[in-house]
């Protein structure tokens, strides 16, 4: 099962809606004739805020903890032919052509293979500067668009 919260929720729009509904609730609380509308509006904005918290922080953590493949130790072998990905449950060969772009900083390489899908390779996995330089050269040969930040 693959969860895509971002495709259902629009964080900025959701926050705007919560603020507008809460503001309407505060305004309605000031009017004696529509106090109930204010209470309902404030309650609705609180529920929406809780849903956002659950969708972006609680549910992903629970889903991650329930998935056994995320607890496995990973082994990645990089070569000009592709990336060999191995865990206790997975053994696959990933072609470089899957990746369309990369973001490189001092701590990691983020390899994108879709608008919201990516693989992360932390720089700490390289045993020395030579290994990291070799990976960097391989990346430059295989991935068409690389953005470097503070490397």
Collapsing DSSP states into helix, strand and coil, what is residue 92? strand
Reported in sequence order, the residue ranges of the chain that DSSP labels E, i.e. its strands, are 75-79, 82-86, 91-94, 101-104, 108-112, 118-122, 145-148
> What is the pTM assigned to this prediction?
0.57
pLDDT at 91 over 80: yes
Check residue 66 and give its pLDDT.
84
Mean pLDDT over residues 125-138, rounded? 93
Question: Topology of 70-148 in CATH?
Answer: PH-domain like (2.30.29)
Q: Average pLDDT, whole number, for the chain?
A: 87
Sheet of 91-94, strand order: 75-79, 82-86, 91-94
Listed by start position, the domains of the chain span 11-66, 70-148
Cα–Cα distance for residue pair 151/147, rounded to 1 Å: 10
Contact 28, 35 (CB under 8 A): yes
pLDDT at 7 over 50: no
Q: Which residues does 65 contact at the CB level (< 8 Å), separation at least 6?
A: none
């Amino acid at each position: 099962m693959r969860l895509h919260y971002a495709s259902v929720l629009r964080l900025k729009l959701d926050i705007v809606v919560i603020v507008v509904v809460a503001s309407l609730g505060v305004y309605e609380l000031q009017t004696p004739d529509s106090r109930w509308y204010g209470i309902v509006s404030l309650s609705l904005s609180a529920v929406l805020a809780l849903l956002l918290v659950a969708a972006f922080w609680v549910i992903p953590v629970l889903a991650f903890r329930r998935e056994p493949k995320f607890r496995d130790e990973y082994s990645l072998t990089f070569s000009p032919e592709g990336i060999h990905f191995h865990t206790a449950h997975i053994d696959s060969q990933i072609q470089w052509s899957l990746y369309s772009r990369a973001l490189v900083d001092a701590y990691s390489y983020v390899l994108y293979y879709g608008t919201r899908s990516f693989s992360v390779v932390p720089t700490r996995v390289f045993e020395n500067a030579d290994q990291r330089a070799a990976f960097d050269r391989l990346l430059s040969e295989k991935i068409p668009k690389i953005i470097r930040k503070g490397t």
